[in-house]
Chains A and B, each alone.
Chain A
Amino acid sequence: MPKVAVIGVGQSAFVRAYPGSIRELAFEAYREAMHDAGIKAEQIDASVVCSAPEYDKQRTPAGLMAEYLGLNPQPTFYVESVCSSSSSGLRTAYALIASGLHDVVMVLGFQKMSEISSAESQERMGRGADIQWEAPFGTMMPAYYALHARGHFEKYGTTEEDLALIRLKSSTYGLINEKAVFRKELSLEKILEPKFIATPLKVFDCCANADGSSCLILASEEKAKDLCRKPVWIKGLGMATAPINMAGRDSFSGLKCAQLAAKRAYDMAGITPQDVDVAEVHDCFTIAEMMAYEDLGFAEPGQGPQLIRSKETYKEGKIPVNVDGGLLSKGHPIGATGGSQIRTIVLQLRGDAGPMQVPEAKIGLVHNIGGVGIYGNVSVFGTE
């Protein structure tokens, strides 16, 4: 397989309500990625634009973005897998380059969630599940993840306190991430206040909606060596899917799509979970990070709680996870999230992650889930 590198990364600040339109929001990440890569628009052969369309008033946003970013007349198109859209965009861009069709491809993710109310947003997200058989009961994302939290509690004896420890870690790192939407220090007592959203998940078990954008620039090996001092290489890409309907699930203590995506990514990269130096996982809810520990093989099934209790997923631990605050603190602008996770890992592997830097990080992993385990994307990156 030909080598493909990430040569530029950018991200807007994630905020509750961005004071501009989607094209302007997208430009923030684009500008940073272009400065980072040190290239001009003419050097981009094609672009892949990613968002979750239920929030977009603009139809077919790829065309709009290509024009506003100055990427006409090169090819552009739209890729969607809800919350993992920009990881699916990465997979698409990788294939475009590895096939030899293009040399330099941009992946742009964006979401402006602030234009609709939180209840309306939950209803639209709920329709990211089965609208024929489940949405008529009044479904929403927190309830779906809560079913998995209860499943994990029942099977392994996991507790609300274990989940709270994950939010405590997140708030520790959210504080030092200038681009995070939530930058307040939280105490365990505060996190455990019984303000339930969907039992056993409470307010602080859930990430916040946010407006944001992310941008990645990928290049072929030849172009990367020509254009970039510190290319970060894509070593493994795993993707898998699982039934959208809860009645089709045979487990509620983990996500099958993530387990299979992880296996595929590790196999392609020729590594094991123990080789990963730093990881970004999809913690839209605390339980999602707990399941990720196990689905990715950082802990045996049922041993996730032990990993966080012993602080092994802190920066100083054996497998640092979400040391940029994760979705819980950064916020979760659906289409931009995967690109933001990938940006964090690229900065880590370059040694440019500032106060979040994990020393000597050589192999990084991104776990990005779409819907409640409908789409699983696991991507492995390396310095060589």
Chain B
Amino acid sequence: MGFEQFGIISFTGVTKTEQFVEFLKNNELRGTACKSCGAKFFPPRSDCDKCLANDMDWFSITGEGTLITYTKAMYAPAGFEKDVPYVLGVAEFSDGIKVFGRLDKSLPDDAIKAGMKVIVRILGLEDDRLSYELTAA
């Protein structure tokens, strides 16, 4: 299996960035960095829109980020109903890298605030699926 292992439901089977899933298996969230011009990307890209190169390195997103915004979804699209409610958010890490994802379900509502420090945690889901979430640092 390749990229379709990513997330609760995947809508993409084949991508040149499928190594992303291998890094999740190693407990790492990685983005890509252009070998020619150094531009860094998350989510990962296999093509650089800055210099048009297609040779990429992978870098790890580590350390603390800051939660910029969030929402608690009380309804879900088809296929995700059993998960509600869940919190979606965007956090900013070093070099301005932003990460979109869900927040740790065990965090109480009053612990979730814009500006809170968060870290990335890799998740193993049912059926060998893999994802990541943001949790309190």
Contact = CB atoms under 8 A, between A and B. Distances in A.
Nearest to B17: A132
Report the contact-size class of chain A (Cβ under 8 Å from the partner): 35 or more
Contacts of B70: 147, 150
Interface string A131-144: 11111111110110
A197 interface: yes
A137 B114 contact: no
Nearest to A120: B78
Contacts of B89: 147
B108 interface: no
B77 A139 contact: yes
A39 interface: no
B69, B101, B114 — most chain A CB neighbours (10 Å) = B69
A146 B88 CA distance: 10
Interface of B: 6-12, 15, 42-43, 68-81, 83, 86, 88-90, 97-102, 114-115, 131
Given A119-B78, A137-B8, A154-B114, A196 B72 contact: yes
Contacts of B88: 137-139, 143, 147, 198
A123 B73 contact: no
A260 B92 CA distance: 24
A245 B97 CA distance: 13
B43 A140 contact: no
Given A147-B70, A150-B69, A138 B77 contact: yes
A147 B69 contact: yes
B131 to A, nearest CB: 7
Contacts of B115: 154
B68 A140 contact: no
B98 to A, nearest CB: 4
Contact of A132 (B9, B12, B42): B12
Given A147-B88, A151-B69, A136 B75 contact: no
Contacts of A123: 77-79
Contacts of B69: 147-148, 150-151, 154, 252
A122 B78 contact: yes
14 contacts: A117-B78, A123-B79, A132-B12, A136-B9, A138-B73, A138-B79, A138-B88, A147-B69, A147-B71, A151-B68, A151-B69, A198-B71, A198-B73, A248-B98
Contacts of B77: 119-120, 122-123, 126, 138-140
Contacts of B15: 132
A127 interface: yes
Interface in A222-256: 245-249, 252
A248 B11 CA distance: 20
Given A122-B77, A140-B75, 19 more contacts: A122-B78, A123-B79, A136-B11, A136-B131, A137-B7, A137-B8, A138-B77, A138-B88, A139-B77, A140-B77, A142-B73, A147-B71, A147-B89, A150-B70, A151-B114, A196-B74, A201-B71, A246-B90, A246-B98
A277 to B, nearest CB: 34
B116 to A, nearest CB: 12
A199 interface: yes
Contact of A247 (B80, B99, B102): B99
A154 B68 CA distance: 9
Contacts of B99: 247
Nearest to A248: B98
B113 to A, nearest CB: 9
Nearest to B78: A123
Q: Which among B6, B42, B80 has the highest number of chain A CB atoms within 10 Å?
A: B80
A220 B70 CA distance: 48
- Nearest 6 interchain pairs by C-beta: A136-B7, A138-B80, A123-B77, A146-B71, A133-B43, A131-B11
Nearest to A132: B12
A47 to B, nearest CB: 33
B114 A150 contact: yes
B108 to A, nearest CB: 14
B100 A247 contact: yes
A281 to B, nearest CB: 22
Contacts of A246: 90, 98, 100
Contacts of B73: 138, 140, 142-143, 146, 197-198
Contacts of B43: 130, 132-133, 245, 247
A133 B99 CA distance: 10
A247 B78 contact: no
A164 to B, nearest CB: 17
B104 to A, nearest CB: 13
Contacts of A142: 73, 75
Contacts of B79: 123, 138
A142 B114 CA distance: 19
